Amino acid sequence: MRSHIWRPLYVVIGIIFLALVIRGFVVPKSFGIHEKGYIYGWYNKADENFWKEVKVKYRSSEYCKDCHGNNLSLIKQTPHAVIQCENCHGPAIDHPENPAKLAIDKSREQCLRCHSYLPYPTSNRSKIKGIDPERHNSGVECIMCHNPHKPSLNSLRGLK
């Protein structure tokens, strides 16, 4: 082969070798997939104790069911069943002790996060019933007419 082929090949091999040497110095020895395989993917085993001490901010709907079973059973029969409680009610990191009651975002913008019409044909977002926020009761909070725990036309003024 001629030298115009070998020289670039040597450069590429040199770059790969240099990257492997630098990786050896930069990436910690405890970084990898470890004994559980790819369940957790690649992580630094030396950081496990740090992550064990991290307080979980979001708890899931299962955490809410003991005290708020009525609302949870209502919502499980609606299109909102797939939404975790904390998406609307905020994180339950220290609930019920502090705060004793979660602050509920009742703003129009909260509902428009999902219900403002966005035509995304390749996702399920286009299947969510959307509204035109400029034409549909502009300036009025959605909960004045709709109960998010019973999101249907029959639930108008059905707030508890």
**pLDDT tens-digit profile of 32-89?**
888 877 777 888 888 888 888 888 888 888 888 888 888 888 888 888 888 888 888 8
Answer yes or no: is 90 within a domain.
yes
Report the alpha-carbon angle 57-61-64, nearest 5: 85
Distance CA 92, CA 48 (A): 24
Answer yes or no: is 2 within a domain.
no
Answer yes or no: is 160 within a domain.
no
Domain that holds residue 77: 61-155
Q: What pLDDT was estimated at residue 10?
A: 92
Answer yes or no: is 36 within a domain.
no
Q: Name beta bridge partners: 31.
A: 44
Q: Where would I find the beta strands (DSSP E) of the chain?
A: 31-32, 43-44
Answer yes or no: is 146 within a domain.
yes
| pTM to 2 decimal places | 0.55
Per the structure, the count of domains in the chain is: 1
Ramachandran bin of 104, using left for φ above 0, alpha for ψ from -120 to 50, beta for the remaining angles: beta
Write the CA distances from 44 to 48, 104, 141, integer angstroms: 7, 37, 46
**Half-sphere exposure of residue 67, counting CA atoms within 13 Å on the CB side?**
9
Answer yes or no: is 68 within a domain.
yes
Answer yes or no: is 33 within a domain.
no
Answer yes or no: is 46 within a domain.
no
Q: What pLDDT was estimated at residue 154?
A: 47
